[in-house]
Amino acid sequence: MLSPDKIKTLQAIEQKILWLSTWMIHHANNIRPNPDGLKIGGHQASSASCVTILTALYFAALRSQDKISIKPHASPIFHAIQYLLGNQKVENLINFRGLGGAQSYPSRTKDYPNVDFSTGSVGLGVAITLFTSLLQDYLSAHQMLPQDHQMGRMVALLGDAELDEGNIYEALLEGWKHNVRNLWWIVDYNRQSLDNVTKHHLNKVIADQFKSYGWRVVELKYGQQLQALFQQPSGHLVKDWLEKCSHDLYSALVYKQERAWRDQLRQDIKDPQLDKLLSKYNDQQLNTIMTNLGGHDFNTLLQGFEQAHDSQPTCFIAHTIKGYQLPFAGHKDNHAGLLTAEQIKTLQEKFAIPTGQEWSPSAGMSQSKEEIQKFIQSSPYQQKISKTVLQPIKNLPDKLPDIGYHERQSTQEAFGRLMTEVSKLDDLWVNHVVTTSPDVTVSTNLGGWVNRRSIFAKNEQQDLFRQLQIPSAQRWHPNPTGQHVELGIAENNLFTALAAFGLAEPLFGQQMIPIGTLYDPFIARGLDAMIYACYQDARFILVSTPSGISLSSEGGAHQSIVTPLIGISQDNLNYYEPAFADELSILLCHAIKNLHHRPTINKSAAYSTYLRLSTKSIAQPKRNVTAALENAIIQGGYWLKEPASQSKLAIISCGVITAEAMAAWEQVSEDCPEVGLLVITSPDRLYAGWDQHQDNANEESHISQLLSVLAPSAHLVTVIDGHPATLTWMGSVHGHHVQSLGVTHFGQSGSLSDLYRLHHIDRQSILHACAQALVKMF
């Protein structure tokens, strides 16, 4: 425990952080010029609520090997802390929520290196800490951490209403399966959400849930002043009253302050002894005691943290007050509330901050600057451990192993074959591959890879089916050297795990090659977590299969239509949809090599990859892939059938539907030999290149070059097993006419030929579109 003097210093730092965060928001909303006249926002109440907890963590409890994720709307507190730690510039605080200023919500990519995890969409920043603890265990078991690595704690500060988010429980269950450890989740239990006061006894429900998953629960309900009051004669009456006091009544009394406590206690506790106890305090003192909750008391917090010194995952329920020490404390509408200029002035006077010194890190503090600095520098978090030296993965492949020529195969089969061959390599880079899948490992063809590289488990487990000699194609033997993390079905967990594993380099100094597989339609199920992974520049490869209506009989619920549009529009993610096995081999290899490039000046560059594959087997071209073709495949497309110069018609296809396009091309080209067939491997990369080069007269984009061979009046017939708008934009590259075929309605069960016909993406429909184009031309 800290000495009383040190606790005093912590309190002084807490007050400074509270002031800076409140002022930062006030300044952005009321003082900085605001040409738009729109609300700038920031959350003074939510920030104040966790000021004590975060001060205790950063200046006393966190160790330098720990990582922390902070509820998004506490961003001002976080920036103020970083400012005191010397990691944040005052200009950024002044420009809070402005372009280039301190971000609204802590951001790994837009703030500075000290942000361990970006947050914003509540729930996700909590769950990622769990998967980061799993990652740390994985790296430790694979001896991929420096020898002197000290296992860090993954800490999340979350709001009590944040626990409404289902992804948290999905993560908890997954964590239970993997025996996760070294986790601290600290609930800022202020009994309020955005709209409302939370339901009474939520804390008990939360505690029960965590306990059932094997977590330790430490409830930090009362501060030391309240605990001392309980020890006094008839103090237990006040404790009993508080235990029963509903959330809304407590919050309302916090807001009303002072006299309200005495009146309410007298009204509710009909015991003559009570008056004797209450008479010891004036209204102000009584208010201070009654609002002395555990989450605002350093001794209580630090004692609580000490209870969780081992590696058992621990949930702290720290009772706090939303808007702590601010005039709207406890008011149910305070979430977006902002102090008035008058209220700010009063607060400034309370903190003894002279006018003009509002941004000072020390003004108004009774301790000297030097004393504060000495204290900050001696905190465990500031004790720098030797920074891990980055070891980039050596000898990444130029080519993936040969899987032989197969006359017909699907891209999913090719993926399985490639991964099986990769699993046999002795190359060191393969040791950096970690695969993961939400209960679709076998059905996405990762079985061969897993048979050789095993399932990851911290402790070796027996394959009982094998021991009992029950035949199975899956030779799964979970052990600490396994390279496949098997997840339950929750797709949110897949993406959150990819987010964590994809940050292995910045978090632990170890480059990984995380490859996740799932069914394409279920990207939608985990989409927010996928966006979250991309938002913080996690590096991963996503393989989604099957996709589109090409999985035929499974029906509309399993057929994906929107994913190509997601692929195009998702920032920080390259979307590819190969038609043939040789394209996939090139693209997977490229994805692996590209993964760990760090940002360059090329704004359209992305480093993670999404491969949309299919289970439909199609005839494969027998060809030697030249360097030029390889380059074109990576850039997003190539002419499978070259058009004649100034041709007036081209068929453009993407992915598995290329087989239908090919059949249509063969027929059209009999009458119209000038027609070309353009195969698109990435609508996304083509679009990004076109977008980037539009204003650049000196460089032509790949798609512009490809289409420039056509006559200006040419017609394009595009086709994809996905939403047709994915390719429609290509008409704008040179002003060509375009007719786009694709899927616009939920699919149905049916044979492939029936479904392709129904959705007008079959050979006949492509032919029909070509015929219409030819009619229009002549």
Ligand X SMILES: Cc1ncc(C[n+]2csc(CCOP(=O)(O)OP(=O)(O)O)c2C)c(N)n1
Name the residues that contact ligand X, by CB under 6 A.
46, 49, 71-73, 121-122, 159-162, 188, 190, 192-194, 322, 335
- Between 106 and 637, whose beta carbon lies closer to Mg ion? 106
**Alpha carbons 494 and 527: distance in angstroms, whole number:** 10
Contact partner, 194, from Mg ion, ligand X, none, Cβ < 5-8 Å per class = ligand X
- Between 119 and 615, whose beta carbon lies closer to ligand X? 119
Query: Nearest distance from residue 40's CB to ligand X, in Å?
Result: 16
Contact partner, 409, from Mg ion, ligand X, none, Cβ < 5-8 Å per class = none
Q: If you ran DSSP here, which 8-state letter would residue 197 be given?
A: B
| Residue 162 lies near Mg ion (rule: CB under 5 A) | no
Please compute, for residue 585, the number of CA atoms within 13 A of its CA located in the half-sphere on the CB side: 22
- Between 160 and 762, whose beta carbon lies closer to Mg ion? 160
**Neighbouring-strand partners of residue 434:** 514
- Between 207 and 485, whose beta carbon lies closer to ligand X? 207
- Asked whether 180 and 151 are in contact (CB, 8 A), the reply is no
Among 14, 160, 491, 583, binds Mg ion (CB under 5 A): 160
Query: Nearest distance from residue 111's CB to Mg ion, in Å?
Result: 23
Collect all residues with Cβ–Cβ distance below 8 Å to 39 and sequence separation of at least 6. Answer: 29
Contact partner, 46, from Mg ion, ligand X, none, Cβ < 5-8 Å per class = ligand X
Q: If you ran DSSP here, which 8-state letter would residue 99 be given?
A: T
Query: Nearest distance from residue 192's CB to Mg ion, in Å?
Result: 5
Place of tokens 């399985």: 416
- Between 43 and 759, whose beta carbon lies closer to ligand X? 43
Place of tokens 């046999």: 424
**Alpha carbons 683 and 664: distance in angstroms, whole number:** 21
Write out the binding residues for Mg ion, residues 192-231 only, by CB under 5 A. 192
- Between 70 and 253, whose beta carbon lies closer to ligand X? 70
Query: Nearest distance from residue 197's CB to Mg ion, in Å?
Result: 9
| Residue 334 lies near Mg ion (rule: CB under 5 A) | no
Sole window of 152-160, 450-458, 581-589, 674-682 interacting with Mg ion (rule: CB under 5 A): 152-160
- Between 43 and 181, whose beta carbon lies closer to ligand X? 43
- Between 160 and 582, whose beta carbon lies closer to Mg ion? 160
Query: Nearest distance from residue 182's CB to ligand X, in Å?
Result: 24
Query: Nearest distance from residue 305's CB to Mg ion, in Å?
Result: 21
Place of tokens 């006061």: 197
**Alpha carbons 661 and 654: distance in angstroms, whole number:** 9
Q: What is the number of the residue whose Cβ is closest to ligand X?
A: 159
Nearest to 241 by CA among 301, 290, 294: 290
- Between 188 and 358, whose beta carbon lies closer to ligand X? 188
Residue 645, amino acid: S
- Asked whether 81 and 17 are in contact (CB, 8 A), the reply is yes
Sole window of 151-159, 481-489, 650-658, 734-742 interacting with Mg ion (rule: CB under 5 A): 151-159
Start-to-end CA distance of the chain, whole Å, equals 88
Sole window of 8-16, 150-158, 188-196, 502-510 interacting with Mg ion (rule: CB under 5 A): 188-196
Residue 459, amino acid: N
Residue 103 DSSP SS3: coil
Among 42, 120, 152, 159, binds Mg ion (CB under 5 A): 159
**Alpha carbons 65 and 290: distance in angstroms, whole number:** 37
Sole window of 143-151, 157-165, 431-439, 694-702 interacting with Mg ion (rule: CB under 5 A): 157-165
Sole window of 189-197, 212-220, 293-301, 569-577 interacting with Mg ion (rule: CB under 5 A): 189-197
- Between 107 and 192, whose beta carbon lies closer to ligand X? 192
Peptide bond into 546 cis (omega under 30): yes
Query: Nearest distance from residue 211's CB to ligand X, in Å?
Result: 21
Q: Residues for the chain: how many in total?
A: 778
Contact partner, 121, from ligand X, Mg ion, none, Cβ < 5-8 Å per class = ligand X
Query: Nearest distance from residue 29's CB to Mg ion, in Å?
Result: 22
Q: Which residue stretches of 149-281 are H helix?
A: 166-177, 202-212, 224-231, 235-244, 247-256, 259-268, 272-278
Query: Nearest distance from residue 297's CB to ligand X, in Å?
Result: 18
Query: Nearest distance from residue 187's CB to ligand X, in Å?
Result: 9
Query: Nearest distance from residue 202's CB to ligand X, in Å?
Result: 10
**Alpha carbons 717 and 705: distance in angstroms, whole number:** 18
- Between 21 and 647, whose beta carbon lies closer to ligand X? 21
Q: How many CB atoms lie within 10 A of CB 773?
A: 23
Strands of the 541-544 sheet, one edge to the other? 484-487, 433-438, 513-518, 541-544, 608-612, 573-576
Contact partner, 162, from Mg ion, ligand X, none, Cβ < 5-8 Å per class = ligand X
Contact partner, 66, from Mg ion, ligand X, none, Cβ < 5-8 Å per class = none
- Between 51 and 632, whose beta carbon lies closer to ligand X? 51
Collect all residues with Cβ–Cβ distance below 8 Å to 5 and sequence separation of at least 6. Answer: none
**Alpha carbons 348 and 162: distance in angstroms, whole number:** 31
Place of tokens 């994985």: 138
Query: Nearest distance from residue 121's CB to ligand X, in Å?
Result: 4
**Alpha carbons 717 and 772: distance in angstroms, whole number:** 10
Nearest to 500 by CA among 514, 481, 519, 489: 514
**Alpha carbons 494 and 478: distance in angstroms, whole number:** 19
Question: Rule CB under 5 A: which residues touch Mg ion?
Answer: 159-161, 190, 192
